[in-house]
Amino acid sequence: MNIFKSKLLWIAPIAILIILAIFSIAFYPAYNPKPKELPIAIVNHDEGTSIQNKDINIGKNLEDKLLDSDSDTVKWVKVDNEKDVRKGLDERKYYGAAIFEKDFSKHAMSQTQKVVMDSKKQEMQDKVKSGEIPPEQAKQMQSQMAKSGASQDIIVKRAEFKTITNKGANMQASQISSNVLKGIGDNLNKQITQQSLDTLEKQDVKVSANEIEGLTNPVKVADKQVHKVKDHQGNGNASFLMFMPVWISSIVASILLFFAFRTSDNIKISHRLIASLGQLGVGVLTAFIGGFGYVYFMSAVQGFDFPDINKIAVFVSIALLGFIGLILGVMTWLGMKSIPIFFIAMFFSMQLVMFPKQMLPKFYQDYIVSWNPFTHYGEYLRELLYMNQPLEMNATMWMFVGFIIFGIVSSISAAMIRKHSGKRTEIPS
């Protein structure tokens, strides 16, 4: 039978293996995404305190421990003040922050210090009453205590451990940061409680029932969130959700514009130039109709909460125009055979848009993320949607300008240089 002599028949199993292998590689970053060196800031203003001539600085001790840790998950970054932290969060340098105020140790150990001092005062009073300490010696001891400030009443206050989580930067990364910071808060309470109990045991001090709570829960974790994601904002994943529709619509629009030119039977160079300019003009119109239509449809019909709908619409329109310029420019020289490249590029980039850089394999971090156009599109769209960033001419916008220029130059030069083909679908643009 002739079918068994067909090359296509035997190519089929090989082709499917190759295709599946390609897409398996494309989705490799999503198989086991683990955070690697997720940046979290730490600010320490803790001035420490002293109990029975023993210096204690909880904030400093924890800071040193975190900065010296060999954790692969989190990269702790020392920051001087909260103002710089806020700026870093706005710029997505950090996904979270831990802040120790200057009175952290003082307040954290205040209950312990009060229990110790009250016990010592009571002990001295008992010894004075029993005659074990003469009144003159008691007065001298009281005078010394007054000079050192030990006789003053200690105000018991819970220490505040301030944490900040950057919700808009990336939902996966912010959740990990939140869990890490919550774990530190829980461990602080456990460690300080144990330290307090050890101190009381050494001083042979008994604790009353009403003092237990202050000793076992000395730290209050004050969790703050910046750049919060609203209810109707795609759960923080809108930059990924708005990637595939924009890219596929750019491919479809480019194909239509490509064949609109090639089927126009323009043989003279002057006619081809006019047709090419018309093609580009309609491309601009298509991008802005698509961008504004897409964003306004999401808002009006799907209820998406855009912080500034026109700002987002302008950006999406420019992105569409840039992608059309890139695709049309390549198709101008390579024709329809270039289309599979664009679909493969999309599948290879989906994980890069979804996950933060720190959750991707090291190879992707080092060699793919920085030059991938979809990553830049997704990151800047995230900043516009969730980080209150203005629309400005940054690296991403210049990238789209470059794509637009490439499309214009390719279309016009091809219309001038390349010869007319007699095949209707092969008239070069």
What span, in angstroms and rounded, lies between the C-alpha atoms of 75 and 92?
Answer: 14
d(CA 351, CA 373) in angstroms, rounded, equals: 13
Q: What angle do CA 356, 361, 367 make, to 5 degrees?
A: 90
CA angle 336, 337, 341 (to 5 degrees): 110
Q: In angstroms, rounded to a whole number, what is the distance separating the alpha carbons of residues 429 and 208?
A: 89
Q: Where are the alpha helices (DSSP H) in 203-308?
A: 212-216, 238-241, 244-262, 269-300
Q: Average pLDDT of each block of 10 consecutive residues along the chain (429 residues)?
A: 68 81 73 80 89 80 86 88 90 90 85 71 63 65 56 72 88 86 87 75 64 70 86 86 94 90 68 83 94 95 93 97 95 89 88 83 81 93 91 95 95 76 46
**How many other CB atoms sit within 10 Å of the CB of residue 293?**
13
Strands 96-100 and 38-44 turn out to be parallel
Residue 243's pLDDT is: 93
**Which pLDDT belongs to residue 425?**
46
How many residues in total does the chain contain?
Answer: 429
Task: Tell me how many helices (H) and strands (E) the chain has.
Answer: 16, 7
Residue 41: C-alpha distances to residues 5, 61, 83, 262 (Å): 66, 16, 12, 56
**Cα distance between the two ends of the chain:** 44
What pLDDT sits at residue 163? 92
The two tokens of residue 339 are 């289309």
According to CATH, the superfamily of the domain at 38-119+154-226 is: abc type-2 transporter like domain (3.40.1710.10)
Give the separation between CA 344 and CA 348, rounded to whole angstroms: 6
Phi, psi of 56 (to 5 degrees): -130, 130
CB contact at 8 A, 375 and 349: yes
Rounded to 5 degrees, φ, ψ at 314 are -65, -45
Contact (Cβ atoms closer than 8 angstroms) between residue 163 and residue 222: yes
Domain boundary assignment for the chain: 38-119+154-226, 234-426
Q: Which residues contact 169 (CB under 8 A, 6 or more apart)?
A: 89, 92, 95, 227, 356, 382, 386, 387
Beta carbons of 307 and 390 less than 8 angstroms apart: no
Q: In this structure, which amino acid lies at residue 340? A: P
Contacts of 231 (CB under 8 A, 6+ apart): 305
